[in-house]
């Protein structure tokens, strides 16, 4: 029986495992039957029980494996369904993304169009800004030009006002200051002519002296008037050069020596022989003649006049100083002004027009200098002006 079992097993070879097991079971049963026949019932029961127990165990293991397989299949199906859902969602997402990309492309195209339009607008804005900026600059230039024109008009208005004042001054001099000396001189000549035989030699000499004084005053006035009118018309030539200052002063004093001797004045010239100024000689001669004449006019008899020159930087400061009657502060402010008629009688009742100081101011400024007065009432006056040294 055992050999038969081996033969059967060998003969079947490599068949399916379930068929072999089945065949083996049948053979085992035959064996067991034979064993039973051989009188071994306890062994057979034990063997059968053990085989059933093994079969049950295998069945349970198969069920567990089947359960695991089913669970795995279920998970696989769930995962498959999930993946399928995700694939569907992915397709939807791709479609949505594709649509969004299309929308983005459209928006990008629209943005490019808007950007192009914006760039054109910016370009126009820049061009407009540049244009406006240019207009602003032109406007500023125009305002500046208008401002300069207004300033020029204001200067012209002031100049016109000064010219009108000059005209009024001129007529005032002609009507009053020039007429009175001539009228006085005419009256003296008439009286002397009609009553010459009745006057003593001394009285005749006094009349002649008065006439001489009046003629000098009239000549001085006419000279100033001529110089002033020429300066107003621009016909006075301006020819600056280096001139010796002391020589001009000495020549001027020689011309005024009779007036100086009449008042018994002392003249002090404190100027270096080498002192020179760069100026027009005729204009400066006129200035010195007027200032020295004024100093004589307002000096007390037996007084003193000092003429001094000091070098200060590149200028020479010339001073004509007297110890005469001086003047008040309000009178000083009226000097050198064409629009204010101010005269003061001299210590010997000398008459004046104020035109001489106006002429001095014009000539000094024409030569690049300035003129002013320092004076105290009853203490004398110092008329000062500057000229270029180099």
The pLDDT assigned to 72 comes to 81
Domain boundaries, the chain: 178-236, 238-390
Residue numbers in the chain where pLDDT is lower than 70: 1-42, 166-167, 169-181, 217, 224, 228, 231-236, 338-354, 390
Q: Are 255 and 293 in contact, with CB atoms under 8 Å apart? A: no
| Environment class of 172 (CB within 10 Å of its CB; exposed 0-12, middle 13-18, buried 19+) | middle
The pLDDT assigned to 10 comes to 37
Report whether CATH 3.50.50.60 matches the domain 238-390: no
The pLDDT assigned to 340 comes to 58
Residue 347 CB contacts under 8 Å (≥ 6 apart), including other chains: 263, 297, 298, 299, 300, 301, 324, 325
The pLDDT assigned to 377 comes to 87
pTM of the model: 0.50
Residue 355 CB contacts under 8 Å (≥ 6 apart), including other chains: 169, 173, 177, 221, 224, 225, 228
- Following DSSP, what letter does each residue of 296-340 receive, concatenated? HHHSPTT-EEEEEEEEETTEEEEEEEE-S----HHHHTTTT-TTS
- Reduced to 3 states, what is the DSSP secondary structure of residue 182? helix
The pLDDT assigned to 276 comes to 92
Structure tokens at 174: 């002609």
Q: Rounded to the nearest 5 degrees, what angle is found at the Cα of 337, between the Cα atoms of 331 and 342?
A: 45
Structure tokens at 294: 């004024």
Structure tokens at 258: 């009779």
The pLDDT assigned to 332 comes to 78
DSSP, res 93: H
């Amino acid at each position: 029986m055992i050999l038969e079992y081996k033969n059967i097993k060998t003969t079947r070879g490599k068949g399916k495992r379930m068929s072999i097991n089945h065949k083996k079971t049948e053979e085992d049963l035959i064996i067991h039957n034979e064993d039973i026949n051989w009188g071994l019932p306890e062994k057979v029961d034990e063997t059968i029980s053990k085989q059933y127990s093994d079969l049950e165990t295998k069945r349970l293991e198969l069920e567990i494996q089947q359960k695991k397989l089913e669970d795995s299949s279920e998970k696989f199906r769930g995962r498959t369904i999930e993946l399928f859902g995700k694939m569907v969602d992915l397709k939807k997402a791709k479609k949505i993304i594709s649509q969004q990309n299309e929308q983005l492309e459209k928006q990008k195209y629209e943005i490019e169009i808007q950007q192009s339009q914006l760039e054109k607008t910016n370009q126009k804005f820049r061009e407009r800004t540049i244009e406006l900026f240019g207009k602003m600059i032109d406007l500023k230039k125009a305002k500046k030009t208008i401002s300069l024109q207004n300033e020029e008009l204001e200067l012209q208005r002031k100049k016109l006002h000064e010219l009108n004042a000059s005209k009024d001054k001129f007529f005032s001099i002609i009507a009053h200051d020039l007429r009175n000396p001539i009228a006085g001189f005419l009256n003296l000549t008439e009286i002397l002519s009609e009553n010459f035989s009745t006057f003593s030699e001394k009285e005749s000499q006094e009349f002649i002296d008065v006439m001489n004084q009046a003629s000098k005053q009239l000549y001085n006035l006419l000279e100033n008037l001529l110089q002033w009118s020429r300066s107003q018309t621009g016909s006075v030539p301006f020819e600056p050069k280096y001139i010796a200052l002391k020589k001009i002063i000495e020549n001027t004093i020689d011309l005024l020596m009779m007036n100086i001797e009449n008042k018994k004045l002392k003249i002090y010239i404190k100027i270096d022989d080498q002192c020179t100024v760069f100026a027009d000689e005729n204009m400066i001669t006129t200035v010195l003649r007027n200032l020295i004449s004024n100093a004589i006019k307002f000096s007390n008899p037996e007084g003193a006049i000092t003429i001094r020159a000091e070098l200060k930087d590149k200028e020479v400061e010339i001073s004509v100083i007297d110890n005469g009657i001086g003047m008040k502060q309000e009178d000083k402010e009226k000097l050198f002004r064409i629009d204010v008629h101010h005269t003061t009688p001299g210590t010997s009742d000398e008459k004046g027009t104020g035109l001489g100081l106006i002429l001095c101011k014009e000539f000094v400024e024409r030569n690049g200098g300035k003129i002013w007065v320092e004076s105290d009432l009853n203490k004398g006056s110092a008329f000062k002006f500057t000229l270029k040294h180099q």
